[in-house]
Amino acid sequence: MSKNRVAIIGLGGIANAHMRGWGALDNAKVVAGADIAQSQLDKFSNKYPEVPQLFLDYRRMLDEVKPDYVSVCTWPPLHAEMVEAAAAAGAKGIACEKPMANSLAECDRMLVACRASGTKLAIGHQRRYNLRYTEAKAALDVGKIGALIEIQSLCRGDLFTDATHSLDLLRFFADDSPVEWVLGQVECKTGRSRFGHEVEDAALAFVSFQSGVRGLIQTGDVSPQAAYQRIMLTGTDGRIEIGGDGEEYWRIINGEQAGWVTHQVAQEAALNPFACYMRDLIRWVDEGGDYILTGEGGRATIEIINAVFESSHRRSRMRLPLYVTDNPLARMLANNEL
């Protein structure tokens, strides 16, 4: 089988997951990597001697290697320029890490560039492939708790870095229904930044989907600190709870049996979520059809996050589409409004 040639930009932590993902596929092979830091290139080449070409300049790599697929594994403020460059270099598909970017203006640059070159853009919300969520979604879809009313999510961490996954999962359980409005509040006292952008200390958000489903999310230090990506689904006829990281189970109560019924899951027995993310990206490029980690979906998540910030700024709910194209959190911090 001929293998798609893959190049990775940014050889830090998450690049290892991309190596594992691409490496699990018969039809892909990582042939090059780029990082601005020589120390990272050295570490990477010791760990993955099978990757033949390493570069300090990612643009040179794109130019010389002309990869079929590009993984963008850098911090969010760099995603737009790197996706634009990979699309211009002729990549068929791009697996860009989450969060897609810091602002809707940047997301739109990425989408426009990919549409112009015919490149398929995927965003790394690979948790949609985690078994505990997919099994719970399958139970929801066959009506085990009746019609979905509310989704609650608990996630320590911050909205951009961590709750980008939680909000994407809210969208997943709500069948990607468009959002009608968002009401949010954030607290930002410590002035922290992560992955090259400012983050809040705590956030609460209420997301009203057009389908009528409501989403509620608690992040940062207002969320129980033991909870990372824990989800609760309330339906007309029952309830499902899905464990967070380190809690590989989901459980259901619905009147079919007395009390809660718990299902343990073994993610590693299945294909790992990153391999599913890359496998289906290749399938999407080759065959078209639907894909669950699209750039448009990544943008929808950034739109909700920035609507939470803007709602906090305006002290009112934000109806979507959001016409605010900057990063409201960065703006509020620059203006001493938090």
Of 240 and 293, which has the nearer Cβ to ligand NAD?
A: 293
Q: What span, in angstroms and rounded, lies between the C-alpha atoms of 135 and 31?
A: 35
3-state secondary structure of 309: helix
3-state secondary structure of 60: helix
Q: Which residue number places its CB atom closest to ligand NAD?
A: 12
Q: Verify binding: residue 161, ligand NAD, rule CB under 6 A.
A: yes
Of 68 and 97, which has the nearer Cβ to ligand NAD?
A: 97
Among candidates 14, 9, 10, 332, which has minimal Cα distance to 198? Answer: 332
Q: Give phi and psi for 197, each to the nearest 5.
A: -145, 155
Q: What span, in angstroms and rounded, lies between the C-alpha atoms of 315 and 183?
A: 8
Q: Verify binding: residue 37, ligand NAD, rule CB under 6 A.
A: yes
Q: Which of residues 117-136 bind ligand NAD (CB under 6 A)?
A: 124, 126
Q: Verify binding: residue 195, ligand NAD, rule CB under 6 A.
A: yes
Among the listed ranges 71-79, 198-206, 238-246, 290-298, the one in contact with ligand NAD (CB under 6 A) is 71-79
Q: Using CB under 6 A as the criterion, what x/- string covers residues 73-112 for binding ligand NAD?
A: xxxx-x------------------xx--------------
Q: How far is the CB of 133 from ligand NAD (least distance, A)?
A: 13
Q: What span, in angstroms and rounded, lies between the C-alpha atoms of 316 and 308?
A: 10
Q: Verify binding: residue 328, ligand NAD, rule CB under 6 A.
A: no
Among candidates 6, 272, 56, 303, which has minimal Cα distance to 168? Answer: 303
Q: For residue 308, what is the enclosing H or E element?
A: helix 295-314
**Site for ligand NAD (CB under 6 A): how many residues?**
23
* Largest Cα–Cα separation, the chain: 63
Q: How far is the CB of 129 from ligand NAD (least distance, A)?
A: 11
| Contact positions vs ligand NAD (CB under 6 A) | 9-14, 34-37, 40, 58, 73-76, 78, 97-98, 124, 126, 161, 195
